[in-house]
Structures are given as C-alpha cells and as structure tokens.
Amino acid sequence: MHVPDGFLDAPTSVATGAMAAAAVAVSLRGARRELAGQAGAGPAGAERTAPLAGLTAAFVFAVQMLNFPVAAGTSGHLLGGALAAILVGPFTGVLCVSVVLLLQAILFADGGLTALGTNITCMAVVTVVVAHLVFRTLLRVLPAGRSTVTASAFAAALLSVPASALFFTLLYAVGGTTDVPIGQVAAAMGGVHVLIGIGEGVITALTVGAVIAVRPDLVHGARGLSRPLKLRVGGALVDAPAAPAAAAPAAAAPAAAPKSSRAVPLAGLAASLVLAGFVSFYASASPDGLEKVATDHGIDRAAEEHAVADGPLADYGVSGVDDERLSVGLAGVIGVGVTAAVGTGVFLAVRRRETSRATGDEAGATDRERI
C-alpha cells in the first residue's frame, strides 16, 4: 500500500510529514525504554531486544516482497505494523516499519519520497496504534495463554490493515489531487484491504506463534505468560520460594550465551534471506490493493515518476543483471542485509543512549547521597 508521489497535494503531504516526524520522535523516546529492558524485560532483555528489532525490520522488508493474491486481479502484502508491535513493542515497532519504508523509498523506488510522511503515518503509525490497542484489549478480556496471544495477534493484524487503508482514504478526501467519488473509494479500499488483512493476520499469527513456541521471552506481547509457581499453604495460595542458585566456582569463566538465544535470530535472518532471495520471485504480479483502486477510480492519473526510478535497485531488481530471477533475488538479499544493518545500528544507538542516561542518573543520585 505504498503511496506514490502525486496522489496528495503539497499541504497534505507536508502535514503528514509533520505527523510522521512527531510520531517518530515520540517513538524514539518510548523505544529507549523498550530496548533498554525497562518495559519489564530487565537488563537481559536489553541485550536481546535491539538485535531482534533489527531482525524484525529485515523480516518485514522480506515479507513485503511477497505479494499474495486476494481477489481477481488484485494482490496484497504484509504491512508489518502489528507484527513489529507484538514482537518488539509499539514504539520500537513504529521505528521498525519506518526504517523499512525509508529504505524502500530511497533504494527501491517503492513509495514516493514526498509521500514518505504519508506512508509512515498510514503504514507504521496507524497500523501499530490500532494493532496495539486491539491486541492489549483482547489479552485483558480473554484467558491468559499462548493461544490467546496468537489469536489476538491475528485479530490485531487483520483490523490494522483496513484501518490504514481508510485513514489514507480520509487523507485523500482532504488533499487528493483528482476529483473522484470518495465514498466509492472508501468502500473499495476498505473491502479489498479486509481481504489483505486476513493474509496479514495469518502471517502475523504464524510468526508470533513460532517465536513463542521457542522463546516466549523474546516476544514483547507475550510477557507475563510465565506465572510464578503457587503453593497452597493453610488454604491460601502463595508464591513458591525460588530455588537457591548453585554457587559458581570462583575461577569459572563466563558462561557462553545459550544456543537458544542465538537460534531464533539466526533462523529469522535465514528465513528473511530465503523469502527475499528466492520466494519473492514467485510473488503475485497483480497490482496491490491501493494500485488496483487507484487504477479503477482514476486516482493514478496524478501519479508522478519516482525520483530514483532509474536507480540501481529500482523496482526490486539489480540494474545490469539480465536474468530476472537472479536480479530479483539479489535485490531482495541486498534489501534484507541493508535493512538488518541499518535497523540494528539505529536500535543499538537508541538503547545505548538510554543506558548512558540511566547510568548518569544513578551516578548523580549517588553523588547527591554523598553530599
């Protein structure tokens, strides 16, 4: 659902750019707490969440290359806001999808440069906010358990897609560059994106369920699934005492990270590379929901050519490589690598800044106590 240049007028594009910038600024502050383990994961969570956030961004990029058919002559692809919010938290999720959209626009000519604010607002902010609200609400009213997390992830992802589509329709009603019957556009956008939302829900639920099955502690939305052991004492339930930790030998070397802590990131990276480098060639060639509605209702008459339409990776192909399968695969692998590197770098920097701030606060408190 990448909006190209020219669909919205300049004032609306500027307004959505300001909205996106404000949302990213707020998300940076919130992500510092999520990535530093202050949202309930503890210090160990900080070491896991930043790399997982970079991997989540790379996975979203890879799966967005896999358009799946949803109706006659129409396809859809993952937006990723719900998946990112559930895996790494809502603030970090907004940043994950924003990184993907930025790299898609400047490297792959996917989504207009002047429409970047619109795409971030619709595909990152709206999807994350709607998905997070639906997901948390369902977790509160449904019985706790892994199946509830998976089912809630499906519902949250499904609803986030038409919400994003209808928000774009609202923007188009305010600042669209062509005169079209907005009621018909809203009906068409909502209808086709409900179908796309079903695909989004399936992908999100399967991914979240797979990670929970192996490492539920890595899933932000699954925190609290493990409950303390209860004992009945005198007719009342009390927490069981923690088992005493075995004394470690004084000269023992630091323990290596458990294999399971590396297995999920490595498996996720491998899956992303396979999806983008191989499976993407078999993606549906039909236009996605927005493209189909734009063509049917004349919205695309005002579309402008992308500024990097002649770039070396434009349209997810490597310039100069004649073999289409190889060209698409190489572009996908490059995209996954760049997204993982940029995303991880951004999230590590955000985490370190929060860690430094927290350390400074502790040092300041200690100095005040000494005084």
Question: How far, in Å, CA of 359 to CA of 356, rounded?
Answer: 5
Whether residue 301 is predicted with pLDDT greater than 80 in this model: the reply is: yes
Question: How far, in Å, CA of 11 to CA of 98, rounded?
Answer: 21
- pLDDT, tens digit (0-9, with 9 covering 90-100), for 88-135: 999 999 999 999 999 999 999 999 999 999 999 999 999 999 999 999
- Spell out the domain ranges in the chain: 10-225+262-359
Cα 51 to chain centroid distance, Å, stands at: 14
Residue 259 pLDDT level (bands cut at 50, 70, 90): very low
Tokens 């999520």 label which residue?
34
> Would you call 339 exposed, middle or buried from its count of C-beta atoms within 10 A (0-12, 13-18, 19+)?
buried
> Which pLDDT score is estimated for 144?
87
CA distances from 77 to 9, 203, 280 (A): 26, 10, 11
> Which pLDDT score is estimated for 253?
42
Among 45-49, 78-82, 242-246, 321-325, name the one with the lowest average pLDDT: 242-246
Contacts of 9 (CB under 8 A, 6+ apart): 175, 176, 177
Residue type, 79: L
User: What CATH number matches the domain at 10-225+262-359, 3.40.640.10, 3.60.15.10, 3.40.50.300, 1.10.1760.20?
Assistant: 1.10.1760.20
Among 94-108, 191-205, 315-329, 339-353, name the one with the lowest average pLDDT: 339-353
Residue 256 pLDDT level (bands cut at 50, 70, 90): very low
- 8 beta partners: 176
The answer to whether 79 and 160 have CB atoms below 8 angstroms apart is: yes
Q: Which residues of 264-289 are buried (b: 16+ CB within 10 A; e: fewer)?
A: bbeebbebbbebbbebbbebbebbbb
Tokens 């920097």 label which residue?
349
